Amino acid sequence: MRDVCIVGGGVAGLAASIFTSRAGLETLVVDGGESILERNASLENYPGFPNGIDARRYLQLTREQARNEGSTFELGRVTRVEPVDSAIPSESREAGEPGVETDLEKGFVLETEAGEPLEARRVIAASWPNSDFLEPLDVGRKQRGNKHFVSVDEGGRTAVDGVYAAGRIADEPHQAIIAAGHGAKVGFAVIHDSDANFYQDWVVPEGYFTDRGREVPPGCEEINDEERRARDERARETMLEALAEPLDERPTMHPSVDRD
């Protein structure tokens, strides 16, 4: 039983996983395809890249960051999510029979197209444009055109305790930085709702808290100048290597465009 399973390893799912992993929650990202951002030709409005960045490179770097923080990955489409509390036949639950109550504290089982079912205490759907796998749960989906969005509160919580939605699937504006920010925010809600001991995810100079007679709060870290320089060196090496050569990969075309 993992702490968190994130369905969708695109922009929002990866951002959520970075935060939940850094907070010490065992996080698995299950991804069944490619991010819609793979269709972008040049990502030019993501803060931090003054002349833009190749969108596929951005996704690669973000995946690497999630891995470095301890997130694990599995390939495959999630097809169904149900409470672990399967002692209750799903037909009875769906029929809303009196006295039938599901213990959501026991977590959820996720079925995938290939492989063994997965279990997690909490599930984040970051799976634009697909949320059919949530049908067995009454999370509150709304249809607009041929798309379904998942209704959430300000922390990305759905109507079902332990189930969250992040990014475009939660009806956030269709921009990468917004999906990333929302993923991070939903990751925070998951951390808050779990029993992780957490204040903020900050790395600060040595003495920032302790020289004021405060303990370093949970989730924060004080580092000395030598360590700061070592981390800076590693960060620059990673970026120099990643950006040294252009990527061969090209954007994915819209499926309805016929190139022949």
Residues that bind ligand FAD (CB under 6 A): 7-13, 30-37, 39-40, 43, 45, 77-78, 126-128, 130, 133, 167-169, 174-177, 179
Q: Which is nearer to ligand FAD, 153 or 232 (CB)?
A: 153
CA dist 82 and 90 (Å) reads 9
Q: How far is the CB of 220 from ligand FAD (least distance, A)?
A: 27
CB 24 to ligand FAD: min, Å: 23
Closer residue to ligand FAD, CB minimum distance, 16 or 191: 16
39 or 236: CB nearest ligand FAD: 39
Query: To the nearest whole angstrom, how small is the minimum distance from the Cβ of residue 6 to ligand FAD?
Result: 9
Query: How far is Cα 147 from Cα 122, in angstroms, rounded to an integer?
Result: 24
Residue 206 CA neighbour count, 13 Å, CB half? 7
| Smaller CB separation from ligand FAD, 7 or 118 | 7
Give the nearest residue (CB) to ligand FAD. 10
Per-residue tokens: 236: 């620059």
- Quick one: how far is CA 193 from the chain centroid? 16
Omega into 217 within 30° of 0, i.e. cis?
Answer: no
Min CB(182)–ligand FAD separation in Å: 8
Q: Given the complex with ligand FAD, which of 163 and 198 has the nearer CB atom?
A: 163
Q: How far is the CB of 238 from ligand FAD (least distance, A)?
A: 22
Give me the least distance between CB of 241 and ligand FAD, in Å please: 24
For 194-219, letters b (16+ CB in 10 Å) and e give beeebeebeeeebebbeeeeeeeeeb
Rounded Cα distance between 68 and 6, Å, is: 17
Nearer to ligand FAD, 37 or 163 (CB): 37
| b (16+ CB within 10 A) / e for 112-138 | beeeeebebbbbbbbbbebbebbebbe
